[in-house]
Amino acid sequence: MNFMSINLRGVRDQRKVDWVRGLKTSHGIHFLAIQETKVGGLENFMISRFWGRSTFQAEVVDAVGNSGGLLCIWNPVVLKCTSVVKRQRFMVVSGELRNRGVDINVVNVYAFNDPLDRRLLWRDLLDVKSSRSGLWVFVGDFNDVRHPAERLNSEFVALNATYFNQFIHLAGLLEYQMGGKKFTFHSDNGLHKSKLDRYLVCHNFMNEWPEASVVALSNVVSDHCPILLSVVSTDFGPVPCRLFNSWLEVPGVMDLVENLCTEFRFNGPADLGLATKLKWVKFKIKRWVEQCNALLICTFHL
Report yes or no on 284 lying in a domain: yes
Tell me, what's the pLDDT at 264? 86
Same domain, 190 and 217: yes
Same domain, 37 and 151: yes
Report yes or no on 237 lying in a domain: no
CA 104/CA 137 separation, integer angstroms: 8
Report yes or no on 188 lying in a domain: yes
Quick check: helix, strand or coil at residue 142? coil
Tell me, what's the pLDDT at 240? 62
Model pLDDT for residues 176-185, shown as the tens digit of each residue: 999 999 999 9
Report yes or no on 104 lying in a domain: yes
Tell me, what's the pLDDT at 72? 97
Decide the pairing of beta strands 178-180 and 213-216.
Answer: parallel
Domain containing residue 293: 245-301
Give the residues of the chain that fall short of pLDDT 70.
232-241, 245, 296-302
Tell me, what's the pLDDT at 235? 47
Using alpha carbons, list the distances in angstroms from residue 65 to 62, 81, 88, 238: 9, 29, 12, 55
CA 170/CA 191 separation, integer angstroms: 34
CA 131/CA 94 separation, integer angstroms: 12
Same domain, 16 and 98: yes
Number of structural domains found in the chain: 2
Tell me, what's the pLDDT at 301? 54
CA 301/CA 292 separation, integer angstroms: 14
Report yes or no on 108 lying in a domain: yes
Report yes or no on 235 lying in a domain: no
Tell me, what CATH number does 40's domain have?
A: 3.60.10.10
Q: Which of the listed residues 172, 203, 230 is the one where a domain comes to its end?
A: 230
Tell me, what's the pLDDT at 290? 84
Tell me, what's the pLDDT at 275? 80
Q: Which residues of 136-175 are buried (b: 16+ CB within 10 A; e: fewer)?
A: bbbbbbbbbbbeeebbeeeeeeeebbebbeebbeebebee
